[in-house]
Amino acid sequence: IQDKLDVRGFVGHGSHPDMLARAGAEQADMIIAVTLYDEVNMLACQVAHSLFNVPTKIARVRAQSYLQPHWSNLFTREHMPIDVIISPEIEVGDVILRRIALPGAREVVMFAQDKVAMVAIECDEDCPVIDTPLSQLSELFPDLRATVVGIWRGSSMFAPRSGDQIQRGDLAYVIAERSQIRRTLSIFGKEKPEASRIVLAGGGNIGIYLARSIEKRMPNARVKVVERSREAAVRMADNLKRTVVLHGSALDEQMLIEAGAQNADLMVSITNDDQVNILSAVLAKKLGCKANLCLLNNSGYYGFTKSLGIDDFIDPRGVTISRVLQHVRRGRIRGVYSLQNGAAEVIEAEALDTSPLVGRPLRELELPPGIRIGAIYHGDHVVPPTGDSVIRPKDRIVMFALSERVR
């Protein structure tokens, strides 16, 4: 880490008081405990609080037992003082659930008490709005409460102006009112039905959370899980009602046929092994599965997933980093989501009385290039940004900023 980044590194045990003292816990504003072990993370936060009075404590906690609602009193100041708990499995599970519900979107992230969504849409040759200036889009669909705030083209990100056009192969980042998501997707030619026949490869923490959530939220969906470990498969089968659990390898063609991959709408590969995820997703597609989605921890694979036949992938680090950034950023930041390995961020922030954005129509504001306002959340309703919109104190603004413009 010291070779690659401008940070100081220490070798030692993350929760030992002497190690935390050496690392400067006495002067720290925040401790972020994200080792592989829940108990070490929790204890590091306790030590940082009790001995060094660190104001903000963030811990990664994976075991679902700690996270059950009726034990929520555990993580309070008088017991185990942790301000923010990050559970990658739940975060990733929720991302996958949103992708299942909105199959035309590459990413879906909610802001402003779930009233505003940031949707990433891939613009392929079938996209009807290719080569159309963004200003013309507003004229064609005057009542569409959605704004294109960012475009990833080739290997770079930019904030488009009203005269810019979307090109084939672009990934467009759109901020829209929640009720307008499906309409926005259909305008971009991405209207697809919700998946109802789903095959999951992997029955770990994410698999169980996902299958249980699908059983609750999607009564018509039929889910089959392929899990390599017999013990995990038995545990999963005991905990689920309608889901069919098969014990075997997701790389075994016969096993995927038994799971019904050839007739499935979606294959979701979420094992601990990236290569198994890629190969099982490709194999399912070859058998006839309509779409696939896989979990990839290694960012080196992101660039060539398309050429392998992967429709979409989940980046668990991006999901987790976004949760941490929300608390690292100064000011009244309600939400942050990091895009394309940190090339840009979508930020939800509260407008303070002292903000230069407050009290003047948007057309009079001289926002620097690289920043776009996507939505204004006023009271309990969403206001799409126009030249006449005025931001008031306490409004929440959902905006896009290139990394060099975030500060």
Largest CA distance in the chain: 65
Checking if the pLDDT of 329 tops 80, the result is no
d(CA 8, CA 358): 40
d(CA 249, CA 41): 33
Compute the mean pLDDT over every residue in the chain, rounded to the nearest whole number: 91
| Residue that is written with structure tokens 């013990």 in the block | 231
Per-residue pLDDT band for 142 (boundaries 50, 70, 90) equals: confident
Nearest C-alpha neighbor of 34 from the set 45, 23, 47, 22: 45
Contact between residue 344 and residue 402 where contact means Cβ atoms under 8 Å apart: yes
pLDDT of residue 342: 87
For 60-116, write each residue's pLDDT tens digit: 998 878 888 888 788 887 888 999 899 888 889 998 998 888 888 888 899 998 899
pLDDT of residue 76: 82
* Pairing relationship of beta strands 171-177 and 116-122 according to DSSP bridges: antiparallel
pLDDT of residue 264: 95
Number of neighbouring beta carbons within 10 Å of residue 273: 16
For 34-58, write each residue's pLDDT tens digit: 999 999 999 999 999 999 999 999 9
Both tokens of 233, joined, read: 């498969």
pLDDT of residue 290: 93
Averaged pLDDT for residues 258-264: 95
pLDDT of residue 168: 92
Averaged pLDDT for residues 2-13: 93
For 187-213, write each residue's pLDDT tens digit: 999 888 888 899 999 988 899 999 999
- Structure pTM? 0.82
Give percent of the chain with pLDDT exceeding 70.
100
d(CA 25, CA 55): 10
d(CA 211, CA 222): 10
pLDDT of residue 19: 97
* Pairing relationship of beta strands 84-86 and 56-60 according to DSSP bridges: parallel
pLDDT of residue 331: 67
Tell me how far CA of residue 225 lies from CA of 31, 168, 178, in angstroms.
38, 36, 31
Give percent of the chain with pLDDT exceeding 90.
62
pLDDT of residue 37: 94
pLDDT of residue 302: 82
d(CA 46, CA 57): 9
Both tokens of 294, joined, read: 């896989």
pLDDT of residue 379: 85
